[in-house]
Amino acid sequence: MKVALDIDLEHTLTCGQAFRWRRREEWWQGVLDGKLVRLRQLDDGVEAHGLEEKPLRRYLRADDDLETIYEDIGRDPLVAACVQNHHGLRLLRQQPWECAASFILATNANIPRIIKMVETVCRTFGRRLGGEVYSFPTPRQILNGQGEAASCGLGYRCQRFVAFAELAEDGGLDGLEALPYEECVRRLVEMPGIGNKVADCVALFSLDHLEAFPIDVRIERILLQEYGMEGTYKKLSAAARMRFGPYAGYAQEYLYHGLSGLPSSQDRRTPAP
C-alpha cells in the first residue's frame, strides 16, 4: 500500500521521538498497534506493509500540512535554516502509554542506551511478533512479570517505570486526550517519573499538543546561545511557545536536529572574510 505524503522517513524515524524503528536494507521495521510494520521511502511518499492506510496516516500525522507549518515557524530565520536541512521531518502521533513509558526510561540517558532499555523491556515483557521483534508491553504485561523488571538494566528508572505501569493499568491515563495543553501537562507531571520535560514530550508526541516545547539540556543551550533566553523550565517553555507559536513543537525538533549542520552562532554573526 502506498501513501502520498511529504515526508523524510530517515529524519522522522531517527530523530529521537520514537525509539523502535530499525533500518533493514531499504525498509524501516517497527511495531504499530501491536503489529509488525515495514515502511519504505518513495519519492512522493511511503510504501507500507502490515498496516492499513488510515492508522498509518494517523501515525505519520499526514493531516499536518508541512508547508503551512514551515511558513509559520519559518518566520524565525534560524528555524527556517534548520528546516532547509531537515525538510520532511514530521512529528509522529504515538500512543500515550508507550510514549510516556519510553520517555520515562529516556531520562538522563543517551539515545543508544534508551534504545537498548526500551528493547530489553519489549523483549522481557512484550509479545513475540516474529523474528526478533517484540511488541511494546501493555501495563498489565509489565505488572504480571514484575520480578523481571529489575534485570532490565533500567537503573533508578525501574521503580518509576513500574509505578507508572500501575498508574496506567488503573486508568490513570484516561481522559488525557480531551485536555487542553496546560491542564494536560499539569496532570502528567503528577505521575511517577514524569517531570516538565517528559510531560512536554508526551504532550507533543502523543497528545496532539503541537505547541508543547520540550526543553532538555541541548535545547536549553540553543535557547541561551542563539536567543539569549534563560530562566526556569516554566519560564523558558512559556517564552518559547510565545516566540515560536502554535507549532513550537515542530520548531523545537528542527532546532534540535537541524542546527548541527549550520555554522556556529558566532560564525554566523561574524562571517569569515
Partner DNA sequence: AACCAGGTCTCGA
Partner DNA sequence: TCGAGACCTGGT
Alpha helices, H only, 15-110: 53-59, 66-73, 77-85, 96-105
Told to check if 116 binds DNA by CB under 7 A, we report yes
Closest distance between DNA and the C-beta of residue 49, in Å? 26
Told to check if 106 binds DNA by CB under 7 A, we report yes
Widest pairwise Cα distance in the chain:
65
Position among 39, 252, 258, 259 found at the interface with DNA (CB under 7 A): 252
Told to check if 12 binds DNA by CB under 7 A, we report no
Closest distance between DNA and the C-beta of residue 252, in Å? 6
Give the C-alpha separation, 76 to 233, whole Å. Answer: 21
Told to check if 261 binds DNA by CB under 7 A, we report no
Closest CA to 11 of 92, 88, 110, 99: 88
Q: Site map for DNA, 154-173, x if CB under 7 A? A: xxxx--x-------------
Q: Site map for DNA, 40-69, x if CB under 7 A? A: ------------------------------
Closest distance between DNA and the C-beta of residue 126, in Å? 20
Told to check if 17 binds DNA by CB under 7 A, we report yes
- Determine the distance from the C-alpha atom of residue 59 to the mean position of all C-alpha atoms in its chain, rounded to a whole number: 12
Q: Site map for DNA, 73-102, x if CB under 7 A? A: ------------------------------
# chain residues binding DNA, by CB under 7 A: 39
Residue nearer to DNA on the CB measure, 5 or 198? 198
- Determine the distance from the C-alpha atom of residue 23 to the mean position of all C-alpha atoms in its chain, rounded to a whole number: 18
The interface with DNA within residues 205-244 (CB under 7 A) comprises 214, 216-219, 232, 234-235
Residue nearer to DNA on the CB measure, 15 or 31? 15
Give the C-alpha separation, 22 to 14, whole Å. Answer: 9
Closest distance between DNA and the C-beta of residue 220, in Å? 8
Q: CA separation (Å) from 64 to 5, 7, 13, 31, 74?
A: 10, 11, 16, 22, 15
Q: Starting at the edge strand that comes first in sequence, how are the strands of the sheet with 2-4 ordered?
A: 2-4, 45-49, 35-42, 27-32, 22-24
Closest distance between DNA and the C-beta of residue 53, in Å? 26
Q: Residue 165 burial by CB count (10 A; 0-12/13-18/19+): exposed, middle or buried?
A: buried
For helices 233-244 and 196-206, what crossing angle results, to 10°?
30
Per CB under 7 A, residues contacting DNA are 15-17, 106-114, 116, 153-157, 160, 189, 192-199, 214, 216-219, 232, 234-235, 252-253, 256
